[in-house]
Amino acid sequence: MASPRVTVTGGGGFLGRYVVASFRDRGHDVFVPRRVDYDLTHEADVMRLYADAKPEIVVHLAAVVGGIGANRTQPGRFFYENLHMGTMMMEHARLRGVRKFVGIGTICSYPKFTAVPFKEDDLWEGYPEETNAPYGLAKKMMLVQGQAYRQQYGFNAIHLLPVNLYGPGDNFDPESSHVIPALIRKCTDAIDRGASEIVVWGDGSATREFLYVEDCAEAIAMATERYDGAEPVNIGAGFEISIRDLAALVAESCAFTGRICWDTTQPNGQPRRSLDTSRATTRFGFTACTPFKEGLARTVAWYRQSGPAEAGRHRHRQSGPANAGHHLPQK
């Protein structure tokens, strides 16, 4: 039998390009809608997308995203556009008889003070961290919608919660990049200028978990093939690192030997983030395989080879709803 046709929204973005490659390697015919052709915040465009692509499987990666600064200045946009895209993409998938809908959520949906490691059953134990709550809650509604549609219509929707991503092709634009690419750019720019220090937001006490982008793409493909449950599933690497230790490690990888100064007038974001990834292992056999230092070295090498101009070009490809593949804020 031919492999099912797959549509990947956000397939032109950071994570999306790797997801598309993973499905194509498996023999799928993959359709990637472009922002210029389909604005997924407009229902008419969503309907036309389904009519044109005729997907059997939909992987919904597209999102409007940003770091702490962007979330603080555009909370209304982040809520409205992400909510509309998810709601309409799933509703019209149901109406068109799509075989499976894979919703990609965010760990920004977890409560601010979730016990570490984050377990999927803790998603409803409190309100998300304030700076990204509108984004996190909008994405969380895909989980609610999918479970409701499964109950009423027998619709096969699954919900995955990837941790913070990094890797070659990330967004290094200083106005919108997340923590790892931001640190890499700060360090390399400081070396080029001969600067003796870099400034990093917060006090360095917050912790994060990071997953190499290729590993995440593999997890999404595996879940699409093997998982059909109503319960959300964390996708992570299973380790935790403080932002202070991360900054030192990035500086080492970039060969930056200057001082790291902390701007404590700026927020830390959520105090801690680290996932319990056992459900992904037991339900569809995923375990991250890229060591963090190795993945970080590959990312630094890509940025040095590509340079700021190419990194900025990647950012612009991600800027619209249908192309915003990097929908996982690393705050």
d(Cα 180, Cα 245) in Å, to the nearest integer?
12
* Residue 70 CB contacts under 8 Å (≥ 6 apart), including other chains: 78, 176
Catalytic residue among 38, 135, 149, 166: 135
Is 110 in the active site? no
Closest by CA position to 155, among listed 102, 85, 219 = 102
- Are 157 and 149 in contact by the 8 Å Cβ rule? The answer is yes
DSSP 177: -
Burial class (CB in 10 A: 0-12, 13-18, 19+), 317: buried
Residue whose entry in the numeric block shows the structure tokens 């809520």: 79
DSSP 159: E
Beta-carbon-side half-sphere exposure of residue 209 (alpha carbons within 13 Å) = 25
**Which residues are known catalytic residues?**
135
